[in-house]
Each structure stands twice: as C-alpha cells, then as structure tokens.
Structure 1
Amino acid sequence: MAGRAVPQPGLERMVPFPGHPLVVGVVPGQNPLVVRTAVGLAAALGVGLYAGYVDTSRYTVSEHPDGSVTHAALDPDTADDSWRDTEAELRDHLATLLAGDGVPWQLRYLAGRPDRALTHLARAVDASALVVGTRAPGGGPRMRELLEGSVAAHLAHHQHRPVLTVPLAVVDWKEIRTPWER
C-alpha cells in the first residue's frame, strides 16, 4: 500500500470559531464541569453544541452526513437494546444540565473508538473545536488509559481541530511518583 500524505494542521485547514459548533465528549455519570465548560465556550462564541457519546461495546456500521451513525453490538448473538436506555438517560441528563442556557444542542450516540467517533462527528458538523474531560481519578481508569491511551491525546494527534481538555482531577506535584515507588 503506497503511503499517502496525511493532511496536516495548517492555517488553510482552520475552521473559524464563529458560526461553527463545538463537539463535547460525554459519558454517563460524567462530572458536569466538562459540559458546562463546553456550554460556556459555545455561548461566548454564539454557536451550538453537539454532545457525542461513544459506546465502545458497539461498532459503527455506517456513518451519516449529520454526524450520526448506524451501529451494532460487537457480539452478534446479543439482542442488546440497552443502548437506547443509555441514550435516553444521557439526553435527559443533558436537558436538565443545559436548561435555560439558550445554547442549541444535539446528542449523537456513536460507536467504536472514542477518538475516531468524535473526529467523525466533528468533521460531519464542521466543528471548530472539541471539548473533552480528563480521565476519571482512580486506579482502574489510570490502567485503562495506560493501555488504550488518552482520548484527548489521540484527538490532538489524529485530527486538525483544537482540543480543549477540561481537568477533572489534579494530582499534587509532591505526590507524583514513578511506578516503582508506589
């Protein structure tokens, strides 16, 4: 397979902030600081917001021009419609969290790898930037990030839009130790 040039970030590829929505990555139970940060920025820019949830237990069958996807369960023997409950829960939570802000928003239920799915959504809606939170505190999420990598880092390295990362937990510099000191 011949290597093709990967489009690089540049002035000619910048998407202007005015008139272009933001994409915010959301997950159930997420700290509201991520969405509130995205809403504050969207309001300041006078643009709308697309909230994207990526279900990693499902895969994308097809991508649509509006940023939505057709998806299916990874296990073909599973008749799993529980994703509909997750979507409804997220939609209700966002409606409550965003009530009265005046920022138009839409939820997109996506599937697969979070970085790729959010990139697809950002391209489809011609977003000017993406907003994501940092990993949750604790050993489990830390191990998962070590194995899979940070969604924010993957986004920053594999697409040309700016990525605003909202810190959700801060570690005191004095507490940082090497893995063998734990």
Structure 2
Amino acid sequence: MNETPQPGVERITPFARNALVVGIEPGQPEIVVVTAARLAETLHAKVYFAYADPERITEREFPDGTVQHGGLDPDFSGDEIWQAKRDKLIAALRNTLLSSPVDWEFRYLAGRADRALTHLARAVDASMIVVGTRRPGGGRVKRLLEGTLGRHLAHHQHRPVLIIPTTVVDWKIPLE
C-alpha cells in the first residue's frame, strides 16, 4: 500500500524566486491580488493568478498546470460565458496590477478550487498558495458541509497556505 507523502522539511520549496499560486474569484476584493503581488515582488517570484470555475469540469490536465475543460452540460459548451468571465478577470488583474513590476500569468481552471489550485501549484513548483477569506453572507450551511478553501488546501497538500482577510469583524469590547 502506498502511503501519501506527508509535509516535511525535505518537501519545502524555497520561497525566493519560486512561483506563488493565487486563487481569485469574480468580485473578490483587490486586497488579495495586491498582497500576493507585493509578496511576489519581495520574493522575486512569478505569480500565477488562477480561477477555478465550478461550472466547468477538467477534461485533461497538462504538465504546465493548464487544463482543457468543458461544460457540465454536454449539450451546451458555454464557451462564450467562460471566455467572457476569463476576459473580465484578466482585465481586473491588469487594472489592479497596473503599476506592479511583478511577472504574472492568469490560468483559467475548472472544478473544485482546492484540487485545481493544488494541481497548478504542483505543476509550477509553487512555494505557496495564496487565497482570500470567503465573503460574508449566505452559504453558512454550504460552509459547514464543505469547509473553506483555505482549510481544504491546508489539509490536503504540503505547501504553505496564506489566507488574506477580505473582511474584518470588529471585536472591540465596550468599556463600561
């Protein structure tokens, strides 16, 4: 029986000059992209910004981390929809990274975000995966049943996971 490789010192990818994989999603606060870009600049690392579309399925994974994907409905490709979503995400990245000197690429992935980001990180030998916290509101049952992306990543692959807060709850205790 093959044992699953566990985290260990020998499996650490050096941080300097090794890629970062950053999970992004439509409408996400730009703090995730900006933080990842600043970290990459400090580490002299390339950034792979990636969106894993849950409405698409991975048909084939390539060694460079790209994927061939298709729609969930075999009778409807949805090509115009995913291409428009991709173009909008790339435009938002370009706008946010306008003055950043960081070297970056965008990857459109498919399926479960934790699996897609793990595959990409393995393919590009990333030193770390960066994600933002989940946006507040709705989805409490889903979050309870499925957990969070950061948690799944931290428990199912060996790379460090940096979770960027996108909203903050003020826990100030009122003075009496």
Specify the TM-score bucket, using the shorter chain as the normaliser: over 0.9
State the Cα distance separating 1:66 from its structure 2 match: 1.4
Partner of 1:92: 91
Instruction: Find out whether 1:117 has 2:119 as its counterpart.
Output: no
TM-score by length of 2: 0.93
Report how far residue 117 of structure 1 moved. 0.2
State the Cα deviation string for residues 93-118 of structure 1 (Å, max 9, x = none): 10111112110100000001100000
Is the aligned partner of 1:169 residue 2:176?
no
Query: Could you tell me whether the CA contact under 8 Å between 1:56 and 1:114 is conserved in 2?
Result: yes
Percent identical residues: 55
Gaps of 5+ in 2: none
Q: What are the Cα deviations for residues 26-64 of structure 1, in whole angstroms up to 9, with x where unaligned? A: 001100011111011001101110001000011100101
Whether the 8 Å CA contact 1:155–1:163 is kept in 2: the answer is yes
* Structure 2: distance between partners of 1:101 and 1:170: 26
Match of 2:145 in 1: 147
| Ranges in structure 1 where 5+ consecutive residues have no aligned partner | 176-182
How many angstroms does 1:173 deviate by? 4.6
Q: How does 1:42-61 map to 2 (within 5 A)?
A: 42-61=40-59
Summarize deviations over 1:68-90 as a string: whole Å, max 9, x none. Answer: 10001111121311100000000
**Structure 1 SS opposite 2:25:** coil
How many residues were matched structurally?
A: 172
Offset of residue 143 of structure 1: 3.1
Let me know the Cα RMSD of the aligned residues.
1.4
Residue identity opposite 1:7 in structure 2: P
* Kept after mapping to 2: 8 A contact 1:55/1:109: yes
* Alpha-carbon distance in structure 1 between the residues aligned to 2:145 and 2:39: 31
Q: Is 1:15–2:19 an aligned residue pair?
A: no
- What TM-score results when the alignment is normalised by the length of structure 1? 0.90
